[in-house]
């Protein structure tokens, strides 16, 4: 039997979350971009599947760096 791993708690996976519609609109407005200008992530990606993300959802990924924290956003396709 295959052991299931909680992807969101894995040491190599940075903290991430699916944005609400309100948060998504705020981010797009703040950066003055359309959703089509965001980098893509496939709906088949294990992270997108774990977050139950659907087409045009936005995923927020926070990487820790030596100088602080960097936030990335990905549009689910």
- CATH value at residue 46: 3.90.940.20
In a domain, 35, yes or no: yes
Tokens of 75: 């549009």
User: Does 6 reside within a domain?
Assistant: no
Q: Among residues 58, 73, 53, which one has the least CA distance to residue 24?
A: 58
Secondary structure element (H or E) that encloses residue 51, with its range: none
Taking a C-beta distance cutoff of 8 angstroms, is the pair 73, 27 a contact?
yes
Q: Which residue range(s) make up the domain with 60?
A: 15-76
Q: Work out how many domains the chain is built from and give that number.
A: 1
For the whole model, what pTM was predicted? 0.86
Chunk the chain into consecutive blocks of 10 residues (it has 77) and report each block's average pLDDT, rounded to whole numbers.
81 92 97 96 94 96 92 97
Q: Is residue 3 part of a domain?
A: no
Residue 8 lies in a domain: no
In a domain, 10, yes or no: no
Query: What pLDDT score was predicted for residue 6?
Result: 82
């Amino acid at each position: 039997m295959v052991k299931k791993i909680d992807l969101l708690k894995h040491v190599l996976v940075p903290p991430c979350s699916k944005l609400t519609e309100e948060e998504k609109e705020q981010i797009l407005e703040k950066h003055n971009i359309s959703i089509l200008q965001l980098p893509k992530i496939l709906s088949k990606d294990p992270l997108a599947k774990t977050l139950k993300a659907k087409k045009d959802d936005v995923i927020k990924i926070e990487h820790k760096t030596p100088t602080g924290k960097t936030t990335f956003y990905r549009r689910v396709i």
